[in-house]
Amino acid sequence: MNAMTLQVVSPVPTDIDIANSIQPQHISAIAKKLNLNPNHYDLYGKYKAKVLLPVIDELKGQKDGFYVVVGGITPTPLGEGKSTTTVGLCQALGAFLDKKVVTTLRQPSQGPTFGIKGGAAGGGYSQVIPMDEFNLHLTGDIHAITAANNLLAAAIDTRMFHESTQSDSALFNRLCPPNKQGNRIFNDVMYTRLKKLGIHKKFPEDLTPEEVKRLVRLDVDPDTITWRRVMDVNDRFLRKITVGQGVDERGMVRETGFDISVASEIMAVLALTDSLSDMRARLGKMVIGNSKSGEPVSADDLGLGGALSVLMKDAINPTLMQTLEGTPVFVHAGPFANIAHGSSSIVADKIALKLVGPGGFVVTEAGFGCDIGVEKFMNIKCRYSGLRPQCVVIVATVRALKMHGGGPAVAAGKPLDRAYVSENVSLVEAGCANLARHVEIVKGYGVNVVVAVNRFSSDTDAEIAAVRAAALAAGAYEAVVCSHFAHGGKGAIDLGVVVQKACENATEPFKFLYPLDASIKDKIEAIARSYGASGVEYSEQAEKKIKMYSKQGFAGLPICMAKTQYSFSDNPAAKGAPSGFVLPIRDVRASIGAGFIYPLVGSMSTMPGLPTRPCFYDIDLDVTNGKVKGLS
């Protein structure tokens, strides 16, 4: 790949101005660099294409490239530039170091784009373009998730309604009606349920009345329903609602709520699946609640696994885009990093690793700080994919380390204290305990760690030197300063060179933090210890749920801890490297289809709100040319 001529300007213009100043290449040209031919992808306009899943089969014989994951230290609320570093590193590898490279990123949620924005396309001279297409609609995957999630929600309430108003035989007549010849037949999804019920009969006529009852009555206990509706809009007034108040619903009211779409379990399924058949199975297995007798009720019990798969059949294909310097990017899936695992898709990584081949690089990002993001990347995503990274990049900033060293609070929308813009080496040194803990956690997996110091203009050489020294002391393979925000790929060449070395010199054996066959509690405690906790405390509710999931046969799933990203502990104010705390588990939930149990440490917001002056105030269309204005 050849470097495009990126003309950088100082001071760095706004993200949208930079993005609009570059004419993207036709996406077929980007595809060609990866040796993809037009049969391998579907175009979605001129700058996006969905790479089709069967490419995986075609490339089966190929060897994989290097697999690099970018994590971060415990961040400030302003973010430390993890996405930007991911993109900048790839621009360096592809446009300057002449490597085959693919960046794999999560699709951002559209809701926050109109609320309080945290850009997900990178920033400055390290971005994915076209930036507006990246942030809006993309190729419709999140819309497909919204549609599928809500079809399942509608099916649950409607089924309860129909069960409450019909006799067993009326339900049977409707669910399994006689055909024109007067015969009833089971369809595939009914066989799935019969098998689950232990009824091994082929013909509807052979069912006893008791078996008919078990087949047709899901008997969902409304108090156990965990499936909520979703919407890709920041709509706080939907957090808690009462549904079913229409007269035709005859008083079957119920309290429930909406989450933002990316919090849907279906998003987590999309991120963790690797084939159509696996996706079909996971979607069918998703548990929406329990029957009154305590059995889990699945999407397939509702007859819906197939239709959900149909709604998701195009979403499984990752979207190809490009960076400002013309290197290829896969944008795919965007699961939450708290109640889900926060990484882009296995499908995208697998295809990308084959496409770059030996000596090439796939660079992906883990959500949140390494304590959560990399932990989940390793123990959930890599466990399901079978892939192993050769190198983890930990992004650190002097700003965040100063905060960890005892600097004043940092808050979005408020001016930074001057401690953050003038030299204070001792504050940095004190904060490096946070970086050191993250390095140690990641090294525990047997992977080389490279620390990338994302340099801000106010950082001094002495401060940077302090970070570098601390990183090496903690066992990092190397620590490098980079300035890709201001300079594009050119600013991350050193990082690229070091990452290449770290990959080529990967030697230690990979190890998971916990074995899957440990008990739910043992797994939770292993993760808690990696945070620095001395122990775990379970609420009564958590104890009850752990017993329930164990009894239901789900104890063998990996654990996805829903914890604040602002501290190793459950207390976001505890900066640095706290230890000896007891981690409280308030509740335990499960995404059975996606395939993990998620303990809640504190309460997690799954539906953001809009501020008084949302971003949408400044967003408009230039009606003369169709261009988007004011997106940030």
Please give the residues from 310 up to 329 whose contact with a copy of itself meets the rule CB under 8 A.
Answer: 310-311, 313-314
Does 241 engage in binding with a copy of itself (CB under 8 A)?
yes
Does 418 engage in binding with a copy of itself (CB under 8 A)?
no
Does 554 engage in binding with a copy of itself (CB under 8 A)?
no
Closest approach, Cβ 280 to a copy of itself, in A, equals 5
Q: At what angle do helices 141-165 and 265-272 cross, to 10 degrees?
A: 130
Nearer to a copy of itself, 42 or 537 (CB): 42
- What is the sign, positive or negative, of the torsion defined by CA atoms of 494, 500, 501, 507? positive
Closest approach, Cβ 602 to a copy of itself, in A, equals 15
Residues numbered 152 to 191 that lie near a copy of itself (CB under 8 A) are 153-155, 157-158, 161-162, 166, 171, 174-177, 187-189
DSSP string over 236-299: GGGSSEEE--SGGGTT--EEE-EEEGGGSHHHHHHHH--SHHHHHHHHHH-EEEEBTTS-EEET
Closest approach, Cβ 173 to a copy of itself, in A, equals 9
Does 100 engage in binding with a copy of itself (CB under 8 A)?
no
Does 245 engage in binding with a copy of itself (CB under 8 A)?
yes
Does 221 engage in binding with a copy of itself (CB under 8 A)?
no
Closest approach, Cβ 488 to a copy of itself, in A, equals 26
Cα(36)–Cα(29) distance, rounded to whole angstroms? Answer: 9
Q: Are 476 and 411 in contact (CB under 8 A)?
A: no
- Cβ contacts of 570 within 8 Å, gap of 6 or more: 563, 564, 581, 583, 584, 601, 602
Coil, strand or helix at 84: helix
Does 613 engage in binding with a copy of itself (CB under 8 A)?
yes
Contact characters 569-608, a copy of itself, x per CB under 8 A: ----------------------------------------
Q: Is residue 11 reached through a cis peptide bond, with omega within 30 degrees of 0 on the bond before it?
A: yes
Cα(73)–Cα(45) distance, rounded to whole angstroms? Answer: 38
Provide the 8-state DSSP code for 408.
P
Q: Are 563 and 601 in contact (CB under 8 A)?
A: yes
- Cβ contacts of 216 within 8 Å, gap of 6 or more: 163, 168, 171, 172, 175, 176
Nearer to a copy of itself, 480 or 631 (CB): 631
Does 11 engage in binding with a copy of itself (CB under 8 A)?
no
Size of the site for a copy of itself (CB under 8 A): 92
Task: Among 20, 44, 126, 355, indicate the residue that binds a copy of itself (CB under 8 A).
Answer: 44
Does 618 engage in binding with a copy of itself (CB under 8 A)?
yes
Nearer to a copy of itself, 242 or 426 (CB): 242
Nearer to a copy of itself, 160 or 392 (CB): 160
Residues numbered 128 to 147 that lie near a copy of itself (CB under 8 A) are 132, 136-137, 140, 143-144, 146-147
Does 303 engage in binding with a copy of itself (CB under 8 A)?
yes
CA distances from 632 to 42, 115, 610 (A): 29, 11, 15
* Antiparallel, parallel or unpaired: β 101-105 and 627-629: unpaired
Task: Among 231, 419, 421, 574, indicate the residue that binds a copy of itself (CB under 8 A).
Answer: 231
Q: Are 316 and 270 in contact (CB under 8 A)?
A: yes
Does 282 engage in binding with a copy of itself (CB under 8 A)?
no
Nearer to a copy of itself, 421 or 619 (CB): 619
- Cβ contacts of 292 within 8 Å, gap of 6 or more: 219, 220, 221
Part of the chain binding a copy of itself (CB under 8 A), chosen from 11-19, 148-156, 480-488, 578-586 = 148-156
